[in-house]
Amino acid sequence: MQRWVYITPLLIAIGLGAVLFTALGKDPTKLETARLHDPLPAFSLPALLDKSHTLTEQDLKGELALLNVWATWCPSCQVEHEYLNELSSRGVNIIGLNYKDERVAATRWLTKLGNPYKFIIYDEQGRLGFDLGVYGAPETYLIDKQGTVRYRHVGVVNHQVWQGIFMPLIEKYQLNN
């Protein structure tokens, strides 16, 4: 009996230490999306490069897609852009969400840095972003064929993120449908 009185706190300390250890290295500023497994919020916004064309959530159905939230005021987005160009050239379906930006500047940016997007939603007020739970840029969402949000990545998408996070998810949701 005596022995257990002394061993139990030690076990608890070890257990607690193990639990807390698993959280080490996780970035607390990267939040999980509250929209996980929810359908994309309804919206009606113009396309960036074609003012007359209105886009809705229906335009994101039918094909598995990355929805990349970007803006010209976001320096990390510029860093990420080259890799997006590469993914796009390999056939990955990427849709742009130009978030709280300015049409002219955004268009000029794409002309200069390349356009990897199938089309770009011009979310000037950031309303679609707000409904999605966007709280900064860049962010990239994985949208499945039914238009359901399946993942949200906060931060740049680079090779490690693509290989380690997105590819397994894409495999999973490609098959599910």
Task: Please name which of 61, 60, 82, 59 lies closest in space to residue 70, comparing C-alpha atoms.
Answer: 82
Between 6 and 52, whose beta carbon lies closer to another protein?
Answer: 6
Between 120 and 154, whose beta carbon lies closer to another protein?
Answer: 154
Name which position in 88, 103, 113, 130 contacts another protein (CB under 8 A): 130
Spatial separation of the C-alpha atoms in residues 81 and 72, rounded to whole Å: 11
For residue 136, the minimal CB distance to another protein (Å) is 6
For residue 23, the minimal CB distance to another protein (Å) is 12
Name which position in 133, 138, 143, 173 contacts another protein (CB under 8 A): 133
Q: Quick check: 167 binds another protein (CB under 8 A)?
A: no
CB within 8 Å of 36: residues ≥ 6 apart: 149, 150, 151, 152
* φ/ψ (deg, to 5) at 53: -90, 125
CB within 8 Å of 13: residues ≥ 6 apart: none
CB 75 within 8 A of CB 61: no
Q: Quick check: 82 binds another protein (CB under 8 A)?
A: no
For residue 93, the minimal CB distance to another protein (Å) is 25
Q: Quick check: 102 binds another protein (CB under 8 A)?
A: no
Q: Quick check: 1 binds another protein (CB under 8 A)?
A: yes
Residues 11-70 that bind another protein (CB under 8 A): 12, 28-29, 31-35
SS (H, E, C) 107-130: HHHHHHHCCCCCCEEEECCCHHHH
